[in-house]
Structure 1
Amino acid sequence: MNVSVIQSSAVRARRGWGKGPTSRIIYYVVCSVLAILFLFPLIWTALMTLKSPGEAAAVPPTFLPSHISWTSYVQVFGAGIFGYLANSTVVVLMTVLIVAILSVLGGYGFSRFSFPGKNIIFVLILVTLMIPFQSILTPLFLLLHFIGLDNTLLGLSLVYVTFQLPVAIFLLRNSFDNVPRELEEAALIDGCSSWQLLWRVMLPVVFPGIVTAVLFAFFNTWNEFLAALIFITDNDKYTLPVYLVNLESGLYGQVNLGALYAGLMITIIPCIVIFLLLQRYYINGLIAGSVKA
């Protein structure tokens, strides 16, 4: 058989895939299995919170609770989770706000302006991603102490900004690079200044990229544990991850799994809600900001 005939048959087969009922059934079955695998840990955690403390610590564990118990949530709320939730919220808001502003300005500058050492500076920013966080804990602690921001939520948020900013600048720079130059030239002809061009023209276009950078900063900051444990020394200033570790250990080192899972569910809910609200922008921004056209 001629090679060209074989190649054309393969192309037609690939184009026809997904149009028949069998291929659609396979597609939905595979997607359903993957969805179950990804949702199983979340479902397991939710069911564990509805068990009594004794049943939650049982070995081997059971999947379904024998009876619904709200004891774990009562313990979590009784331990003052709202104060730690407020601390995490304040740190996240400060981090996200600073990262959003600096990444937009940095990405716009690296994308649209030429200045000496531009590429070298951009590479140096990306190189910071290779520095292990644990290796610079002591210099960061001494620096915060020197500027008087040790044991403060602002100082903790600045530490988070340091590590979230390189990724955000990288995403925003590529997002700005994907904006056609003709759009910028048309705005300049109409009399827009550089700031007006950024605010009125460019920001609405790269909004998905901004959402992507903000979501990355939010998730990483909300779930971060080590920095909050090292740079915060007052118990009333701890964030949620540190609170959950303290909540896990009971009397004589006994692990309170029910309370731990209840705290995890309360921690997970904001992440799920924010992602569901912004997932459309997140996917578009991730695609547009990660691959340079």
Structure 2
Amino acid sequence: MLALAVLFLAPLLWTAWASVYGPQASGGTAGFGTGNYERLAAYGSGLGRYSLNSLAVSLMTVAGTLAAGTLGGYAMARFRFPGRDLLFLFTLAILMVPYPTILVPLYVLLGWLNLQNSLIGLALVLVMFQLPFALFMMRNAVEGVPRQLDEAARIDGCGPLRTLVRVVVPMVTPAMITVGLFAFLASWNEFIAPLILLSEDAKFTLPTALAAMRSGNHGAIDFGALQAGTLVSAVPCMLLFLLLQRHYVRGFTSGALKG
């Protein structure tokens, strides 16, 4: 396990070292410095702008995914209606479609909705990509909640929505955290969708900005600033996962012992 940990951590540790050591970092002499981070912060519209764009898109994606996934999973697990199973299968079938192939039609659709080159439009597209996994997870989690609790809530006068909020949601919180974590990581690191759907530099997300930096000027690539950007983009994901890893594991096991 220690050998595997070293194998996986070595590239990240090398990136951290390269971002603060060398002539580009120290201003022309071999040594440590923050030159790479200073150039990264001043690139294009600024590191702060790109990071805020990524954060805004990720939070909107998480909120939309949790709302749609929780409501959909509750409906699929608790209500019977014509075409329920077929609708569930069609939603899961989205996973079998290579999503880059449908980005151009989605780009046209966003144009009809006046959401082209928009962070909101990008977040809606990312919610669609996350919905199959969210629906699958939340349906299993809700099915793991005893129906007797729903019946007791109805006796107390709760309707379906109030039962969901008061009874079901507290029981499936680990699954919701797992879904939210997946949605955040996927949207934070997403590259192809922002590349196609966003055309204004001030609205670029962090991965798109780093790709533009990698293209360089006249073939010259600032590898030091690129390594700094890679580390900056990776640190929030690692911290978030470390904070939520306990709920992440519980979320995957919720509903596993149903019945």
TM range (shorter): over 0.9
Shift of 1:164: 0.6
1:75 paired to 2:45 = no
Provide the rounded CA distance (Å) in 1 between the counterparts of 2:102 and 2:257.
31
- Choose from 131, 154, 179 the match for 1:188: 154
1:138 paired to 2:104 = yes
Shift of 1:53: 5.0
Structure 1 runs not aligned, ≥5 long:
1-30, 57-64
The range that moved more, 88-97 or 117-126, is 88-97
- Choose from 88, 100, 117 the match for 1:151: 117
- Choose from 228, 245, 265 the match for 2:211: 245
Structure 2 runs not aligned, ≥5 long:
none
TM-score, normalised by the number of residues in structure 2: 0.93
- Choose from 140, 150, 160 the match for 2:126: 160
Amino acid at match of 1:45: T
Provide the rounded CA distance (Å) in 2 between the counterparts of 1:212 and 1:292.
18
Provide the rounded CA distance (Å) in 1 between the counterparts of 2:162 and 2:105.
40
Q: Determine if contact 1:53/1:257 at 8 Å carries over to the other structure.
A: no
Shift of 1:180: 1.6
1:219 paired to 2:185 = yes
1:276 paired to 2:235 = no
Q: Determine if contact 2:37/2:225 at 8 Å carries over to the other structure.
A: yes
1:113 matched residue in structure 2: 79
Provide the rounded CA distance (Å) in 1 between the counterparts of 2:199 and 2:124.
16
Provide the rounded CA distance (Å) in 2 between the counterparts of 1:189 and 1:66.
74
2:224 matched residue in structure 1: 258
Of structures 1 and 2, the larger Rg is shown by 1
Q: Determine if contact 1:248/1:259 at 8 Å carries over to the other structure.
A: no
- Choose from 143, 147, 172 the match for 1:177: 143
Q: Percent identity?
A: 44
SS at match of 1:253: coil
Provide the rounded CA distance (Å) in 2 between the counterparts of 1:46 and 1:291.
42
- Change in Cα spacing, 1:227 to 1:291, as seen in structure 2 (3 Å) is farther
Provide the rounded CA distance (Å) in 2 between the counterparts of 1:220 and 1:240.
13
- Change in Cα spacing, 1:174 to 1:44, as seen in structure 2 (3 Å) is same
Shift of 1:54: 5.6
Q: Determine if contact 1:211/1:281 at 8 Å carries over to the other structure.
A: yes
TM-score, normalised by the number of residues in structure 1: 0.82
**Number of equivalences:** 255
